[in-house]
Each structure stands twice: as C-alpha cells, then as structure tokens.
Amino acid sequence: MHSAHERLQAISPSTGKLLGEIDETPIQHVDVFYEKSKMAFNQWSELPVSQRLEYLKKLKEYMVENIEVIAKTIADDTGKVLTEALVADIMPTLDAIQHICQHGTKMLKREKIKTPLLLIGKKSFVEYMPRGVVLVISPWNYPLQLAVVPMISALAAGNTVILKPSEVTPLVGKCIEELFISAGFPDGVVQVAHGGKEVGAAFTNGSPDYIFFTGSVRTGKIIQEVAAKNLVPTTLELGGKDPLIVFADANLERAAKGAVWAAFTNSGQVCMSAERLYVEKSVYPRFLELLKKEVDKLVQGNDENSDIGTMTFPAQVEIVKKQLDEALSRGAELVTGVPSHLWQKGMYLPPTIVKNVTHDMKIIQEEAFGPLLPVVPFETEEQAITLANDTVYGLNASVWTHDRAKARRVASRLVSGAVVINDVIVTVAHHGLPFGGTKQSGIGRYHGSGGLRTFCHEKAIMEDSGRRKSEIQWYPYKGKYPLFLNLFKSYFQSKRNWSTFARMYIKLLKRN
Ligand code: ADP
C-alpha cells in the first residue's frame, strides 16, 4: 500500500488498476492535529445543539446532491457492487443524519430528575457534556457509514473529530474529508488523517479524549491497551460470527433467500453477515437444495445489475482460503463453490456453502469475513441455542420460525448485541436501536438513544437555593446520632412511620 513518496495508492479490486493516490498524513503532524482540534472544540462545544445540527443538515443535503458520485467512489474503491454502496453504505449514513437531526436536541437536553425525600429542598439534573476530541478509526468494508455515523454522533454532541479512515479504501477517506469541507463545517472541527496502521497508532498515542474504533478484534485489543495507559475511554466495534437458526416451521424459501443474502452481501465482508447456519434436522436436506438454488442465481461482476462484487482486501482472501482448506481437509463437503485451488485469479471469490463441518473447525469458530457459509443440522431448540452461543463472538443473530413465542424465547437467550426474527442484519439500519457487540464483538454501543450520549460525560447536578443556614448532616454531630438512627429506621422500615420521621427531622434541624 505504501510507496516511497508516502502516498496511499487506491487499487481497484475488480480491475487491479490504480485508481488514484492520496497524500499520507505525516505522523509528525499528530500534535498539530490535536492542538487544532482542541482549539476548535472551544467554539464548537459552546454552540447550541440546534446550530450544530444545521451543519449536519447541510452535510445531508450535499450528500444527496452528490449521491451518485459517492456511490461510484465507494464501489470503485471497495469492489462492492453499486447497489450495495447505495443501499448499505450511503442510505444508513443519510438515515443516521436524519435521525440525529430529528432527535438530537432532545437526547442532549439537560434532564430533570426527581429528588428523594431525604435530600428535601434541592433540585436534581443530568447534563450531557461533550468529551473533547474524538478519534474515529474506521475500516474498509462500509467505509462511509462506519466512519461518518460515529463522526456525526460525536459532532452533534459537541465534540470535535479526527478521523483516520482505512488505508485500504483511501478514496472514500478523501471523499469523506471533502464532504465535511463542502458542508461548511468550521475549520478544525473535522480533520482527516490519511494513512495506514502507523498513522492510526500515532493518533491513538496522541491525546484523544475518546477513541471510537471499528475494525478487527486484534487491532481493537491493541488500541484498548494503548488507551488504558492514559485512561482514554473507548468504544470498540469488532467482528462477528453471526448465527442463523432456521426451524422446520419457518418460511423456508424466505429463509434460504435471507441466508444467502446475509452470507454473501458485500462478499461476506460484513461484521454482521451470516457466518454459521443452523437448520433443524427434519428440513436440512431440503434447505440445502433451496440454498443451492438461490446461489445458482447470483451474478458476480461490477456493474449496476451484479449481485456480488469482489473481495476488498487481498489479505482477507487468504483468511477465507485457510478456513475453507482446513474444513475440506477434515471431511467437510461443498454444497456450492469450488476448492480454493480452483479459484480464479483476482479478487472475485465464489459464494461457498459447506456442510459436514464440526464445531471445532476454524470455519465455525473464527471470523471469515468472506463468502463462506457452513451449514449445521440441529435437533432441539436447546441444542440450537447452545451451538449458536458457542463462539467468542456475539454481534448479531437471526431466528427463523412462524412460532412467535419460540422466536422470542430463543432471541432472548442468544448472547448477542442484536437478534433479528425472520430477517437478517436489518437492526443496523434502524438508527433508533442500539448497535454493538457482546463478548469479543466489542465494547460499548452507539446508535439509539444512547448513541449521542456515548460521546458525552454524564454530569450530575444538584441545586440548593442556598437560603438555609446549614444541612442536617453537616457539623456539629453532637446529639445527632440517636436522632439519625430513628430518622432512618422510620424512613426505611417497610411501613414508613411519618410522624417519627417528621419529629426526628425537626429535632435534627434544631441541632444545626
Ligand atoms: P480491518 O480493516 O481488516 O478490520 P484493522 O482492524 O486492522 O483491520 O483496521 C481497521 C482500522 O484500524 C484501519 O483504519 C487501520 O488503519 C487501523 N489500524 C490498524 N492497526 C492499528 C493500530 N495498531 N493502531 C491504530 N489503528 C490501527
């Protein structure tokens, strides 16, 4: 990826041709970025939320005007098909902006909280104070959404942002920088640092007030270690090995279509893609046929009518190959696809479904992030749940059945940040729902009502009129102990004794 001139090269995964070059941000500039961001924070954080949201609206308008150019940039840089650039990367970004513009003011407003009787005479509030400079480090699979959504959430909450987009998709990184400039954000409020992991590491080691990272578990752990040294809080959005559970009473045609889409959309390079399929034994053979029929219809290519594009990152192809090779060498069999030695050159991988796998294989336990779907039969609901929970990941899952009670029962028992019933992945497209993982899929949540507050310090405020001379719990303590004893007993016992409470309270006041 790096040339001697410290320029990032964008290579088209579908043609192998050079699409363009971007200047890398020198790591000596890290301090300048942070200084500029902290200066800009002073004004930006003081703006009323409604004014900050005006900038977001301009961003949305500009994006809508240029939607085709953005879609083309994403498709070129990632190798994903145009439809997916539009539907799965641009749409959720626009919708997130819209959601934040609609609900942001309310989510960030100071909240009045009821004050308990023992603290009588005071008012209580919670305020949401921006954290400062938020460092967003983003990946290449949904290079727009996974950068811009945390950015706008942090910005709406009053933070300034430094983005380090993935070096694998530098053109989208550049495009994001231009979007924020064109939307007219004040100088220094958004800065983009281009480069690879060295640049990412240099910024992580700088002075962020918060780090929002989306990427691999391995890099997430490195970032968390660095952040821990300076007690910098983080959100980590990491990988997944998402299970699909299909019961015999499900709409099997729909389930097969859903499974194929969930496994192969974006060539499986989705943290929430289906990576394990569990099918009730009685319908297992029939379901395999349905899957094969759906896969046979798929069109691979890079035009408007193609279903599946290329892989984006060469190293990822190797991971998929290793998983497939191991499974086949240990007795697994192909339902669709071919062994890896028959793969064609280049970045197009065949949508591959594998049966006869065992639960200790890499193909079941490790994230593939590619078009690889192992299918496993199960006999009981209990067994399906146990198998589905048997990985280190827990990001999304889906349950397919017409029995609503069963669907909800199973959904509740899956250790997963999200569960979809009779559909897949789609929770991520509803910005009102929280997004994030359990176990090694990550730490923290965004989207949803907490999506902006993640980027804030929650501040407790209590207010007294200041008119009374003293408080009962202040000095002097002389003679107060037995009065407090009776006060608390009368207050906390199961049947409250109001007359003792009032007498003790008045006596305590007189002791002040
Ligand atoms: P992937 O893109 O395959 O999910 P990574 O998790 O390595 O893989 O990359 C996600 C983002 O993290 C990219 O923007 C990458 O440049 C960045 N990154 C990689 N290594 C580090 C690191 N040590 N410190 C900070 N950022 C890093």
Cross-strand partners of 440: none
* Together in a domain, 250 and 228: no
Q: 17 in a domain, yes or no?
A: no
State the CATH number of the domain containing residue 232.
3.40.605.10
Pocket of ligand 1 contains residue 194 by CB under 6 Å: no
Q: Are residues 271 and 228 in the same domain?
A: no
Classify residue 436: in a domain, yes or no: no
* Ranges in the chain, pLDDT < 70: 1-5
The predicted pLDDT at position 512 comes to 85
CA of 99 to the centre of ligand 1 (A): 28
pLDDT for position 3? 41
Sheet with 210-214: strands ordered across: 190-192, 160-164, 133-137, 210-214, 234-237, 442-443
Residue 141 Cα to ligand 1 middle (Å): 12
Per the annotation, the verdict on 101 as an active-site residue is: no
Confidence (pLDDT) at 342: 96
Do 59 and 173 share a domain, yes or no?
yes
The reply to whether 188 and 253 lie within a common domain is no
Q: Which residue's alpha carbon is nearest to atom 26 within ligand 1?
A: 200
Looking at the fold, whether 155 and 301 belong to one and the same domain comes out as: no
At residue 278, the pLDDT reads: 98
| Domain assignment of residue 122, yes or no | yes
Which CATH number belongs to the domain containing residue 377 in this structure? 3.40.309.10
Which residue lies with its CA nearest to atom 13 of ligand 1?
166
Question: Do both 339 and 305 map to the same domain?
Answer: yes
- SS3 call for 114: coil
Which atom of ligand 1 lies nearest, measured to the CA of 315? 3
- Counting from 1 in the atom list of ligand 1, the atom nearest the Cα of 222 is 23
Sign (positive/negative) of CA torsion 72, 77, 83, 84? negative
Q: How far is the CA of 486 from the CAs of 117, 308, 489, in angstroms?
A: 16, 73, 5
**Judgement on whether residues 454 and 487 belong to the same structural domain of the protein:** no
Does 181 share its domain with 63?
yes
Q: What is the pLDDT of residue 497?
A: 96
The pLDDT, as a whole number, for residue 5 is 52
In a shared domain, residues 308 and 406: yes
Q: Are 210 and 348 found together in one domain?
A: no
What is the model's pLDDT at position 6?
84
Residue 303 in domain:
yes
What pLDDT does 240 receive?
A: 96
Q: Looking at the domain assignment, is residue 118 inside a domain? A: yes
Cβ 140 under 6 angstroms from ligand 1: yes
**Residue in 1, 166, 395 to alter for ligand 1 test, most ligand atoms within 8 A of Cβ:** 166
Which atom of ligand 1 lies at the shortest distance from residue 369's CA?
Answer: 3
Q: What is the pTM of this model?
A: 0.95
| Inter-CA distances, 439 with 16, 291, 319, 392, Å | 37, 30, 22, 6
Residues 283 and 411 in one domain: yes
- Is 237 annotated as catalytic? yes
The boundaries of the domain holding residue 127 are: 35-238+448-459
Atom of ligand 1 nearest to the CA of 167: 16
Contacts of 272 (CB under 8 A, 6+ apart): 240, 242, 395, 396, 418, 425, 428
Identify the active-site residue in 24, 84, 167, 237: 237
Among the atoms of ligand 1, which is closest to the Cα of residue 204?
Answer: 25
SS3 121: coil
> Which residue, by CA, sits nearest to atom 4 of ligand 1?
215
State the pLDDT at residue 114.
97
Q: Is residue 109 part of a domain?
A: yes
Do 397 and 309 belong to one domain? yes
Per-residue pLDDT tens over the stretch 341-398: 999 888 999 999 999 999 999 999 999 999 999 999 999 999 999 999 999 999 999 9
The full 3-state SS of 336-368, as one line of letters, equals ECCCHHHCCCCCCCCCEEEECCCCCCHHHHCCC
The answer to whether 427 and 420 are in contact (CB under 8 A) is yes
Would you say residue 147 lies in a domain? yes
Indicate whether residue 223 lines ligand 1 (CB < 6 A): yes
Which residue among 197, 226, 395 has the greatest number of ligand 1 atoms within 8 angstroms of its CB, and so is best to mutate? Answer: 197
CA of 73 to the centre of ligand 1 (A): 21
Q: How many domains does the chain have?
A: 3
